[in-house]
């Protein structure tokens, strides 16, 4: 069969995540910086930096430095893949894997 595309991400095993907002969202930007669709699925090869990039797009945050992906309140290394994370922190637990994201307020100039 056509091996040339066999390595595509879309044919990878997928992983199911649940992205919860870390800490309570502050009054004024209550609804703005919260991910509406919090159940996420992607390839096991997706890395934290990919997820963060897409999350920033989804919650309309331009400056990626404001957003962090956490596990048990600990920031995750940029180049960690979903599979590494799952095996390290979620092995044997039921799907989805629960992650948090924090959005630092932009300090006014």
Which tokens hold the place of 12?
């990878």
How far apart are CB 42 and other proteins at their closest, in Å? 5
- What secondary structure letter does DSSP report for 27? S
Asked if 105 is part of the footprint of other proteins (rule: CB under 8 A), the reply reads: no
Asked if 91 is part of the footprint of other proteins (rule: CB under 8 A), the reply reads: yes
Please tell me whether residue 53 adopts helix, strand or coil conformation: helix
Residues 99, 19 contacting (CB under 8 angstroms): yes
Sign of CA dihedral 37, 62, 72, 80: positive
Stretch that binds other proteins, among 20-28, 45-53, 65-73, 100-108 (CB under 8 A): 45-53
Q: Contact positions toward other proteins, by CB under 8 A?
A: 1, 3, 6-16, 18, 35-44, 46, 50-51, 53-54, 57-58, 83, 86-87, 91-96
């Amino acid at each position: 069969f056509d091996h040339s595309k066999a390595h595509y991400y879309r044919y990878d095993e997928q992983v199911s995540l649940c992205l919860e907002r870390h800490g309570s969202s502050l009054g004024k930007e209550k609804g703005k910086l919260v991910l509406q669709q919090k159940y996420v699925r992607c390839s096991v090869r997706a890395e934290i930096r990919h997820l963060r990039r897409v999350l920033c797009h989804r919650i309309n945050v331009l400056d990626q430095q404001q957003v962090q992906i956490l596990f048990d309140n600990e920031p995750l290394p940029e180049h960690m893949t979903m599979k590494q994370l799952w095996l390290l922190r979620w092995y044997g637990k039921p799907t989805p894997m629960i992650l948090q994201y924090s959005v630092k307020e932009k300090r006014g100039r």
